Homo-oligomer: A and B are copies of this chain.
Amino acid sequence: MCRLWAQSGTELANKADFIHLSPMAIASILTPELREMLETNDGEGLREFCEAMHPASTAEFLEELQVGETWQVLSHTNPHRQANILQYFPEPQKLALVRGASRDRLARIIESMASDDRVDLVKDLEPGLREDLLPLVAQAEREDIRRLLSYPEDSVGAVMTTDYAWFPENLTAGEALTQLRLQAPDRETIYYVYVLNTDRRLIGVVTLRQLILAKPAAKLGEFMERTVLSVQVDENKEQAAQKLAHYDFIAMPVADSEGRLVGIITHDDVMDVVVQAATEDAHRMGAIGPIEEDYLEAKFRTIWRKRSFWLACLFVGELLTVFALASFDETISAIPALTMFIPLCISTGGNSGSQAATLITRAMALGQVSVSDWLRVLRHELLMGLALGVSLGVLGLGVMSLLPLMGLLDSKILANNDPRMLALVVSQSVSAICLWGTLVGSMLPLGFKRLGVDPGIASSPFVATFVDVTGNIIYFSLATLYLI
Contacts and interface: CB of A to CB of B under 8 A. Distances in A.
Given A271-B271, A339-B325, A354-B287, A387 B11 contact: no
A228 interface: yes
A267 B271 CA distance: 9
A136 to B, nearest CB: 28
Contacts of A391: 308, 311-312
A412 B279 CA distance: 50
A326 interface: yes
A474 B434 CA distance: 27
A14 B253 CA distance: 12
A335 B343 CA distance: 18
Interface stretch (A70-78, A96-104, A124-132, A205-213): A205-213
Given A226-B8, A308-B391, A247 B358 contact: no
Interface stretch (A30-38, A39-47, A363-371): A363-371
Interface string A302-322: 011001101110111011011
Given A184-B212, A250-B250, A358 B303 contact: no
A351 B250 CA distance: 41
A150 interface: no
A303 B360 CA distance: 13
A87 B9 CA distance: 38
A419 interface: no
Interface stretch (A49-57, A139-147, A151-159, A447-455): A49-57
A333 B332 contact: no
A252 to B, nearest CB: 11
A315 B282 contact: no
B268 A245 contact: yes
A344 interface: yes
Interface in A335-378: 336, 339-344, 346-348, 350-352, 354-355, 357-363, 366, 368-369, 373, 376-377
A363 B296 contact: yes
A193 to B, nearest CB: 12
A315 B396 contact: yes
A342 B203 CA distance: 66
Interface in A73-128: none
Contact of A368 (B208, B267, B296): B296
Given A296-B363, A342-B339, A311 B355 contact: yes
Interface residues of A, number: 125
Contacts of A355: 286-288, 307, 310-311, 461
A359 B288 contact: yes
A188 to B, nearest CB: 10
A200 interface: no
Contacts of A248: 268
A312 B340 CA distance: 19
A23 B114 CA distance: 35
A351 B226 CA distance: 54
A346 B343 contact: yes
A465 B336 CA distance: 22
Contacts of A8: 226
Contacts of A310: 351, 355
Given A323-B408, A363-B296, A413-B333, A392 B308 contact: yes
28 contacts: A9-B226, A9-B227, A56-B246, A184-B209, A191-B209, A208-B208, A212-B212, A267-B268, A278-B278, A279-B366, A282-B361, A282-B362, A286-B359, A286-B460, A288-B355, A295-B362, A295-B363, A296-B373, A296-B380, A300-B380, A303-B384, A304-B387, A308-B387, A308-B391, A312-B391, A314-B348, A347-B464, A354-B460
Contact of A212 (B5, B177, B396): B177
A36 B316 CA distance: 63
A329 interface: yes
Across the A-B interface, the 3 shortest Cβ-Cβ residue pairs: A286-B358, A295-B363, A460-B460
Interface string A272-283: 101100110111
Contacts of A53: 227
Which of the listed residues A274, A336, A412 has the most CB atoms from chain B within 10 Å of its own CB? A336
A13 interface: yes
